[in-house]
Amino acid sequence: MRYCIVGAGFSGAVIGRALAEAGQKVLVIDERATMGGNCASERDAGTGVMVHVYGPHIFHTGNERVWDYVQKFGDWVDYNHRVQAVAGGRVFSLPVNLLTINQFFNKVMSPAQARAFIAAQAQEIAEPQNFEEQALSLIGPDLYRAFFRGYTRKQWGVEPTELPASILKRLPVRFSYDDSYFAHPYQAMPRAGYTEVVKAILDTEGVELRLGARFEDLDEPFAHVIYSGPIDRYFHHEYGRLGYRTLDFERFSHKGDFQGTAVLNYCDEDVPFTRITEHKHFAPWERDQFEGSVLYREFSRLCGPDDIPYYPIRQTSEEAMLRKYVLRAEATPGVSFVGRLGSYRYLDMDVTIAEALDASDRMIAAIREEKSL
Ligand code: UDP
């Protein structure tokens, strides 16, 4: 009997390939007509720009195994991600760094002076319990209100006091002029786009790929199912729907260079979108050859039953619901739940790949054990 992998994103592709290389027959299905899940990329027919179809993805990692792994499936070009933010009608550098602090407070402080200045503003909260407390204890009220409060309310649709502190921990605060958005040693973009990388991972003997196919419609027994779809969907939402934020992209074109950078965040609440992304700037090595430009204005809202899930919200009520699904999953033999949707966690691409490699190791070890019995 063969293995069935549901979802042709990074999780499914990595596990599918590993199983096939270990001698198993694998069927990989995806209900979309494309591979790559939400990382999918394709060239815009009009301008030629590589567009990140479901919003921008920047690959960054400190994991050597993951870095070595992805090298095998495409040519990666170094890319140092930088973000600017509009707040109160002015443009600042993000994540909060010495330039942001000096410009925001109209000062010329050294790293030590800025550290002391921010420490004097920050509130002493021994163990921050939520996003707002985490921000107030890290950067104080002024920077929090300018850059995080409005953006976070737009992005998550709830009060920052109702969100876990962990969301903010994704972003550093730096007392230097280092404005690199990510601190990881490896940051890169695939020259041919993410879809080609996933395609290359799946391009191996033993893998049958079926796009535009729903798992619910399959009628065939499998040795094991590796499910990277939403865990609540697998169980027909029996305990309710896990909450996600979805994104609406208002796609528009421009002649020339619209904003001079890949990502411009809009932190003020009177602007309805969270950010504008200009996709040719994600590919600096080729950007100047395109006259036109493709941009996304990004709006966040609660995910409905027919929308694409992006960010797991993970409020307290959802944590309780998730526990029920996880218990149910553990009691369901023959199925493994993987990836962002299968585990209801917001995973960066590198973590997704690392977890998929680990899951593959475990599955292959189990197959070998069974065979030698
Ligand atoms: N955030 C913010 N203002 C910004 C950028 C980020 O308030 O200008 C908050 C927001 O709540 C976001 C979180 O910081 O969800 C993490 O930011 P990150 O850039 O990691 O967001 P993602 O990559 O998930 O879009």
Check which CATH number belongs to the domain holding 360 and give it: 3.40.50.720
Angstrom CA distances, 25 to 224, 307, 358, stand at 11, 32, 20
More confident residue, 1 or 15: 15
Mean pLDDT of 215-244: 96
Tens-place pLDDT, residues 46-77:
999 999 999 999 999 999 999 999 999 999 99
**Tokens, residue 289:** 């050859």
Same domain as 349, residue 323: yes
Is residue 308 one of the residues assigned to a domain? no
Residue 373 pLDDT more than 60?
no
Is residue 179 one of the residues assigned to a domain? no
pLDDT, residue 315, reads: 80
Segment among 66-70, 118-122, 145-149, 311-315 with least mean pLDDT: 311-315
Pocket test for ligand 1, best of 145, 167, 350 (most atoms within 8 A of CB): 167
Question: Of 139, 170, 201, which residue is a domain's last?
Answer: 170
What's the domain range around 137?
Answer: 83-170
pLDDT, residue 329, reads: 97
Examine the residue annotation and report whether 43 is marked as an active-site residue of this protein.
Answer: no
Among residues 152, 122, 156, the alpha carbon closest in space to that of 137 is found at 122
Q: Is 14 exposed, middle or buried (0-12, 13-18, 19+ CB in 10 A)?
A: buried
How many whole angstroms from 148 Cα to the centroid of ligand 1? 8
Question: Of the residues 17, 32, 174, 340, which is catalytic?
Answer: 174
Same domain as 210, residue 327: yes
Report the C-alpha gap between 30 and 171 in whole angstroms.
33
**How large is the ipTM?**
0.96
Pocket test for ligand 1, best of 38, 57, 171 (most atoms within 8 A of CB): 171
Total domains in the fold of the chain: 2
Report the C-alpha gap between 7 and 17 in whole angstroms.
13
- pLDDT level of residue 221 (50, 70, 90 thresholds): very high
Among protein residues, the one with the nearest Cα to ligand 1's atom 21 is: 170
Is residue 285 one of the residues assigned to a domain? no
Question: Of the residues 196, 232, 278, 298, which is catalytic?
Answer: 298
Residue 178 pLDDT more than 80?
yes
Same domain as 198, residue 165: no
Mean pLDDT of 96-123: 97
Computed over every residue of the chain, the mean pLDDT equals 96
Same domain as 195, residue 106: no
Q: Is the CB of 130 under 6 A from ligand 1?
A: no
Residue 372 pLDDT more than 70?
no
Examine the residue annotation and report whether 346 is marked as an active-site residue of this protein.
Answer: yes
Is residue 124 one of the residues assigned to a domain? yes
pLDDT, residue 85, reads: 98
Q: Is the CB of 266 under 6 A from ligand 1?
A: no
Is residue 144 one of the residues assigned to a domain? yes
Q: Is the CB of 67 under 6 A from ligand 1?
A: no
Is residue 278 one of the residues assigned to a domain? no
Examine the residue annotation and report whether 174 is marked as an active-site residue of this protein.
Answer: yes
Question: Of the residues 43, 170, 214, 301, which is catalytic?
Answer: 170
Same domain as 149, residue 19: no
Same domain as 133, residue 87: yes
Same domain as 68, residue 207: yes
Report the C-alpha gap between 53 and 201 in whole angstroms.
20
Q: Is the CB of 147 under 6 A from ligand 1?
A: yes
Same domain as 139, residue 212: no
Tens-place pLDDT, residues 301-355:
999 999 999 999 888 778 899 999 999 999 999 999 999 999 999 999 999 999 9
Same domain as 195, residue 157: no
- pLDDT level of residue 202 (50, 70, 90 thresholds): very high
How many whole angstroms from 10 Cα to the centroid of ligand 1? 22
E strands in 139-270: 186-190, 207-211, 224-227, 244-255, 263-266
Same domain as 95, residue 155: yes
Report the C-alpha gap between 166 and 191 in whole angstroms.
32
Is residue 46 one of the residues assigned to a domain? no
pLDDT, residue 326, reads: 97
Same domain as 122, residue 20: no
Same domain as 67, residue 88: no
Q: Is 160 exposed, middle or buried (0-12, 13-18, 19+ CB in 10 A)?
A: buried
Examine the residue annotation and report whether 170 is marked as an active-site residue of this protein.
Answer: yes
pTM recorded for the entire structure: 0.95
Report the C-alpha gap between 247 and 44 in whole angstroms.
20
Is residue 71 one of the residues assigned to a domain? yes
Examine the residue annotation and report whether 220 is marked as an active-site residue of this protein.
Answer: no
Q: Is the CB of 38 under 6 A from ligand 1?
A: no
